A and B are shown apart, each in its own frame.
Chain A
Amino acid sequence: MPQGPLRILVVLPMYGGSLPIGRYCARALQSMGHSVRLFEAPLLYPAFTGLQRLGLPPAAGHQLENSFLQLVSQSIWAHAQALEPHLVLALAQAPLNRNLLQRLRRSGVRTAMWFVEDYRIFDYWRLYAPLYDVFAVIQKKGIIDELARIGQNNAFYLPLAALPDFHKPVRLTAQEKREYEADMAFLGAGYPNRRLAFRHLAGRNFKIWGSDWEGESLLAGNIQRQGARVSEEESVKIYNASKININLHSSLQTAEIVSRGDFVNPRTFELAAAGAFQLVDERSLLGGLFGADELATFTSAAELYAKIDYFSSRPEEREAYAGKARNRVLREHTYAHRMASLLDYIARQTGPWPQGAAKTDFPPELGSEFYADFERLTHKLGLGPHAPFEDVIACLRRQSGALDDLETSLLFLDEWRKQYLK
Chain B
Amino acid sequence: MSAINLKVNGKVHAVDVDPTTPLLYVLSDDLALNGPKFGCGLGQCGACTVIVKGQAIRSCITPVKSVEGAEITTLEGLGTIEKPHPLQQAFIEEQATQCGFCINGVIMTAKAFLDKNPKATEQEIQQAMSGVLCRCFTHVRMLRAIYLYREGRFRDGRARDAAARAGRTREEAAK
* Same complex origin of A and B: no
Listed in ascending order, the chain B residues whose CB lies under 8 Å from chain A are: none
